[in-house]
C-alpha cells in the first residue's frame, strides 16, 4: 500500500516511516497540506494519509472533496492533544494515533486499509484451473477480462495477476466504473487540466497516468457509457491519453485488466458495449466459477475468514464444528465469497463455545443458516427455485424480447417501482433499465412509478 505522511509528526516522522515500511508500505512525505495536494494531483497517489493533528485537517478534507480525491485520513499527535484529536475525528479523520507511534497500532491501521481479505485462497480444481491460467499469462502485457458473478473474487484475482507479472513492483490502480457518475468518470480516468470544468482548480493526473508502468483495473467496465468507451479504446490501442481540457497527448505504459459480472457479448448485441472494445479487452478471459460450483473452496475460505476475523476482533480462534461445516457445504451461496465472508464474520462474533457451531451461522436478519436447508418448503430460496421452474414451463412459443419484458416489469413490481433495486436484481445497469422502460412505455405498457405496482395503477 502507499502511505503519505503529512507534517513533521513532532519528530516522530522517521520512526513512523520505518514502522510503515517494515509492514510493506511505500512511504511519501509532504511537509504541508499544499505540498501533499500537489503530489496527489501529480499522480503520486496514496491509499492512506497520516496527518499531524495540529494541521488544518478540516481544510485538507474540504480540498480533497472539492477536487474529488478519495483517500482516508488518520490523524497523529501527542497523547495530550485530546481536543485536537476530537476535532480531527469530527472533521472526517478515520482514526487518531497517539505519538510516539506504537508499531502494533500502526500495523493494525495499515492492515485495515490494505485489507487482508485480498488473499487468494482456493482448494477446488475448478478454481485451480483458473489460477493456473492466470499465472501462465501474468508475465505478458496482454489485456485480461475477468468475468463471473458478483462476489466471486474478480478483483482478488486481478491483484494476483498483477503480483505475478513483470509489473509487480509498480502501481496497481483500481477504479470502479459503476461507482463514479458518468460526468466524472472521464476526468477520473484521464485526468484534467486547470479550468477544464467548474471545480477544476488545478491540473490533476488521472488513473491512467497514476498507473503508469503498472496495472490499471477497470472494475465493472460494463457500466461505462458507450461514448466514453470510444476514448478508452483509443487509450488501450495507442497507449496515449488526452486529459480533459488538454491539448497534448500523454503517453502511458500500463497493463489493462477489466472485470464484469454481466455477459458483455449480450451487451454488445444490445448496443450497450462496443464490440471492438470487447475484442481489445478480451485477449485472455478468466472466468471465475461461482462458489456453488467449487465446493472444496467453501471450507478453505471459511477457515481463512474465521482466522482473520478472530484476530481482527481480539477473539480466540475457534475451529468450525462438524455441523457448521456440513451446513456451509450444503448452502448455495448466491452471494458467493462475499456472502460467505459476511456469514463467517457474524459467526466469529456470535460463537460462545470452543467451536463455531451451526447455531452461530446466522443470516443478516438473525435467522439461522440451516433455516434455509432441509425445511419442507426449503425456505425462500427453494420457493424462488420452484417459481422459476413454473415460469419456464410457460416460455415455449414466446420470443426472447417478450420474456425479457415480462421479467423486467415483474421485477419492477416486486421492488415497488424502485429502479435501482430492480436493476441490481436483474444484473443490468440503471441506464439499461431506464432505456428498456422508455421503450415499453412507448409500446403502451404501464410502467409503475416509485412506490407503485402495475396492479395498483389499474
Supply the CATH number for residue 187's domain.
3.40.50.300
For residues 173 and 272, state if they share a domain: yes
For residues 235 and 165, state if they share a domain: yes
- Close Cβ partners of 36 (under 8 Å, ≥ 6 residues apart): 4, 6, 30, 49, 60
User: How many domains is the chain built from?
Assistant: 4
Q: Which of 287, 313, 347 corresponds to the end of one domain?
A: 287
Q: Are the beta carbons of 294 and 122 closer than 8 angstroms?
A: yes
For residues 215 and 319, state if they share a domain: no
Residue 188 falls within a domain, yes or no? Answer: yes
For residues 204 and 297, state if they share a domain: no
Q: Which of 108-112, 197-201, 354-358, 436-440 has the highest mean pLDDT?
A: 354-358
CATH number of residue 303's parent domain: 1.10.8.60
Q: What is the pLDDT of residues 122-148, one digit of tens each?
A: 889 899 999 999 999 999 999 999 999
d(CA 341, CA 91): 32
d(CA 395, CA 128): 37
CATH number of residue 410's parent domain: 1.10.10.60
For residues 52 and 95, state if they share a domain: yes
d(CA 224, CA 220): 8
Residue 308 falls within a domain, yes or no? Answer: yes
Lowest pLDDT segment from 39-43, 95-99, 358-362, 450-454:
450-454
pLDDT band at 394 (very low <50, low <70, confident <90, very high): very low
Q: Which of 236, 270, 287 corresponds to the end of one domain?
A: 287
For residues 347 and 441, state if they share a domain: no
Q: Which of 81, 114, 147 corresponds to the end of one domain?
A: 114
pTM for the structure as a whole: 0.64
For residues 142 and 238, state if they share a domain: yes
Residue 33 falls within a domain, yes or no? Answer: yes
pLDDT at 395 over 60: no
Residue 385 falls within a domain, yes or no? Answer: no
For residues 351 and 415, state if they share a domain: no
**Count helices and strands in the chain by DSSP H and E runs:** 20, 12
pLDDT band at 117 (very low <50, low <70, confident <90, very high): very low
For residues 181 and 281, state if they share a domain: yes
pLDDT of res. 23: 63
For residues 256 and 364, state if they share a domain: no
d(CA 137, CA 143): 10
- Identify the domain containing residue 315 by its residue range: 292-372
pLDDT of res. 21: 75
Residue 388 falls within a domain, yes or no? Answer: no
For residues 334 and 362, state if they share a domain: yes
Q: What is the pLDDT of residues 169-189, one digit of tens each?
A: 888 998 988 888 777 888 889
Residue 337 falls within a domain, yes or no? Answer: yes
d(CA 29, CA 314): 32
Lowest pLDDT segment from 70-74, 221-225, 391-395:
391-395
For residues 228 and 240, state if they share a domain: yes
pLDDT at 364 over 90: no
List beta partners, residue 244. 192
pLDDT of res. 221: 94
Mean pLDDT along residues 397-419: 79
Q: What is the pLDDT of residues 74-109, one digit of tens each?
A: 888 866 667 777 888 888 887 788 777 666 666 666
Residue 382 falls within a domain, yes or no? Answer: no
Average pLDDT, the chain: 82
pLDDT of res. 396: 52
d(CA 242, CA 186): 10
CATH number of residue 41's parent domain: 3.40.50.2300
**3-state secondary structure at position 51:** strand
Percent of the chain with pLDDT over 70: 84
Q: Are the beta carbons of 54 and 38 closer than 8 angstroms?
A: no
Residue 384 falls within a domain, yes or no? Answer: no
Q: Which residue has the higher pLDDT, 389 or 305?
A: 305
Amino acid at each position: 500500500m502507499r502511505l503519505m505522511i503529512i507534517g513533521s509528526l513532532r519528530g516522530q516522522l522517521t520512526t513512523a516511516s520505518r514502522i510503515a515500511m517494515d509492514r510493506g508500505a511505500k512511504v511519501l512525505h509532504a511537509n504541508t497540506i499544499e505540498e501533499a495536494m500537489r503530489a496527489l494531483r501529480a499522480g503520486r497517489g496514496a491509499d492512506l494519509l497520516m496527518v499531524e493533528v495540529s494541521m488544518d485537517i478540516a481544510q485538507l478534507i474540504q480540498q480533497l472533496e472539492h477536487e474529488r480525491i478519495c483517500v482516508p485520513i488518520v490523524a497523529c499527535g501527542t497523547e495530550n492533544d485530546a481536543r485536537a484529536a476530537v476535532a480531527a475525528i469530527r472533521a472526517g479523520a478515520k482514526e487518531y494515533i497517539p505519538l510516539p507511534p506504537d508499531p502494533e497500532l500502526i500495523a493494525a491501521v495499515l492492515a485495515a486499509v490494505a485489507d487482508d481479505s485480498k488473499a487468494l485462497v482456493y482448494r477446488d480444481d475448478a478454481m485451480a484451473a483458473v489460477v493456473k491460467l492466470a499465472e501462465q499469462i501474468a508475465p505478458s502485457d496482454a489485456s485480461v477480462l475477468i468475468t463471473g458473478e458478483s462476489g466471486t473474487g474478480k478483483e482478488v484475482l486481478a491483484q494476483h495477476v498483477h503480483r505475478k507479472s513483470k509489473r509487480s513492483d509498480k502501481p496497481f490502480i483500481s477504479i470502479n466504473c459503476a461507482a463514479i457518475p458518468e460526468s466524472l468518470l472521464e476526468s477520473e480516468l484521464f485526468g484534467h487540466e486547470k479550468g477544464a470544468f467548474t471545480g477544476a482548480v488545478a491540473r490533476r493526473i488521472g488513473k491512467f497516468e497514476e498507473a503508469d508502468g503498472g496495472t490499471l483495473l477497470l472494475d465493472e467496465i460494463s457500466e461505462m457509457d458507450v461514448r466514453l468507451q470510444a476514448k478508452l479504446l483509443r487509450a488501450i490501442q495507442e497507449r496515449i491519453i488526452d486529459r480533459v481540457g488538454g491539448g497534448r497527448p500523454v503517453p502511458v505504459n500500463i497493463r489493462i485488466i477489466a472485470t464484469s459480472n454481466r455477459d458483455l457479448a449480450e451487451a454488445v448485441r444490445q448496443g450497450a458495449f462496443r464490440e471492438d472494445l470487447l475484442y481489445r479487452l478480451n485477449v485472455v478471459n478468466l472466468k471465475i466459477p461461482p462458489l456453488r460450483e467449487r465446493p472444496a473452496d467453501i471450507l478453505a475460505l471459511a477457515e481463512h475468514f474465521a482466522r482473520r476475523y478472530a484476530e481482527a476482533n481480539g477473539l480466540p480462534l475457534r475451529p468450525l464444528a462438524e455441523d457448521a461445516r456440513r451446513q456451509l457445504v450444503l448452502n448455495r451461496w448466491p452471494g458467493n465469497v462475499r456472502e460467505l465472508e459476511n456469514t463467517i464474520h457474524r459467526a466469529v462474533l456470535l460463537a460462545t463455545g470452543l467451536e463455531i457451531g451451526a447455531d452461530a451461522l446466522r443470516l443478516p436478519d438473525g435467522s439461522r443458516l440451516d433455516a434455509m436447508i432441509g425445511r419442507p418448503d426449503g425456505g425462500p430460496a427453494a420457493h424462488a427455485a420452484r417459481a422459476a421452474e413454473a415460469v419456464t414451463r410457460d416460455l415455449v412459443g414466446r420470443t426472447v424480447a417478450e420474456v425479457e419484458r415480462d421479467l423486467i416489469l415483474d421485477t419492477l413490481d416486486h421492488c415497488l417501482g424502485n429502479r435501482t433495486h430492480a436493476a441490481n436484481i436483474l444484473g443490468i445497469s440503471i441506464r439499461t433499465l431506464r432505456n428498456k422502460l422508455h421503450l415499453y412505455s412507448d409500446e403502451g405498457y404501464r410502467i409503475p412509478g416509485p412506490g407503485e405496482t402495475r396492479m395498483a395503477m389499474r
